[in-house]
Amino acid sequence: MLDSSGSITWQDPLNWERILAFVAEIVSQFPVTRDLTHVGVVTFSTLASVEFRLDRHESNADVNRTIYGIKHRGGETNIAEGLRLMRTEVFTRRGDRDDAKDIAIVITDGVANEDADRVEAEARRAKEDQGIEIFTIGITNRVDEYELDLIASEPYSRHKFLSPDFNALQNILAEVKRRACEVSPPIISTPSPSPPTTTTTTTTQRTTTTTMRPTTTTTPYRPPPTRTRPPPVTTPRPRPGGFQGKRPVSWALESRLCSPAVSLPLWALIGRSRLRPGFSTMTTDCTR
């Protein structure tokens, strides 16, 4: 809850930027996600306004980007209206969770001068009726420490911070974070027990297949043995009234045609596969 009254920039226009940078530093100390830290901002001057609610952002970068875009309004200091709006519009509506601790940090540089008589009552309703833990940060010596005690949760010594000027805000940053963490300890996610894992071992015997390449053996041709026939005995017949001599013998030769065996090699036809038009490959990205 930020004081956006005119006194913030009265002495130095850059003081508003210093407040926003300080708030962004506080937010960066906590993980902003859907399940962990939610952040909302209320500003107050003569009136109060909800800058953004608890359910608007789910990352630190988005929260800080919006914080740096908050405009300074100027006007009076109506702390009571800021407390009422925080109580009724932020911690009871979108983004508020029953199982999360509600923490408010009120930053001001002065004293309430609008509806000042309502400050104590509004702070009491926020703390007692809704259980909101309130820290107060007073900047410069113009603040009313008693008023800061009325707003802050007890014990006041652990919920109230003082900074002499806007440039010294960084000096209390670590202590603000530490005390806020004491109120709301970090959420530790406990993983659910995983079911027992069954490991199945399969033993596969390696089978070796040996393919014998066909072998063709060529046996050289051997001609069959030649049988020798005895010459026929020709008994000369007496030629009547003629010459009684030997007749010439006529031989018949038998030959075989035998072609040697031919080994024809076996050729494997290897065809080229062609991709059909329109075929494409898809790469799948595999990951929480």
Q: Is 175 strand, coil or helix? A: helix
pTM for this model (two decimals): 0.64
Strand order in the sheet with 133-139: 48-52, 41-44, 2-3, 103-108, 133-139, 160-163
> With the C-alpha atoms ordered 44, 45, 48, 53, is the resulting torsion angle positive or negative?
negative
pLDDT given for residue 98 in this prediction: 82
Which has the closest alpha carbon to 43: 92, 103, 83, 94?
A: 83
3-state helix/strand/coil string of 71-127: CCCCCCCCHHHHHHHHHHHHCCCCCCCCCCCCEEEEEECCCCCCCHHHHHHHHHHHH
| Cα–Cα distance for residue pair 63/38, rounded to 1 Å | 9
The DSSP output letter for 129 is I
pLDDT tens, N- to C-terminus, the chain (288 residues): 999 999 999 999 999 999 999 999 999 989 999 889 999 999 999 999 999 999 899 899 999 999 999 999 999 999 999 999 999 999 987 778 888 899 999 999 999 999 999 999 999 999 999 999 999 999 999 999 999 999 999 999 999 999 999 999 999 999 998 998 887 655 444 444 444 444 444 444 444 443 444 444 444 545 555 555 555 554 445 444 443 444 333 333 333 333 343 333 333 333 444 444 443 444 434 333
Which has the closest alpha carbon to 81: 123, 136, 51, 38?
A: 123
| Cα–Cα distance for residue pair 41/68, rounded to 1 Å | 12
Listed in sequence order, the residues at least 6 apart from 97 whose beta carbon sits closer than 8 Å to its beta carbon are 38
> With the C-alpha atoms ordered 18, 22, 28, 33, is the resulting torsion angle positive or negative?
negative
Which tokens in the block code for residue 39?
């952040």
pLDDT given for residue 130 in this prediction: 92
| Cα–Cα distance for residue pair 270/268, rounded to 1 Å | 6
Which tokens in the block code for residue 201?
């071992």
- Burial state string for 195-212 with b = 16 or more CB within 10 A and e = fewer than 16: eeeeeeeeeeeeeeeeee
pLDDT given for residue 141 in this prediction: 93
The kind and range of the H/E element at 156 are helix 156-159
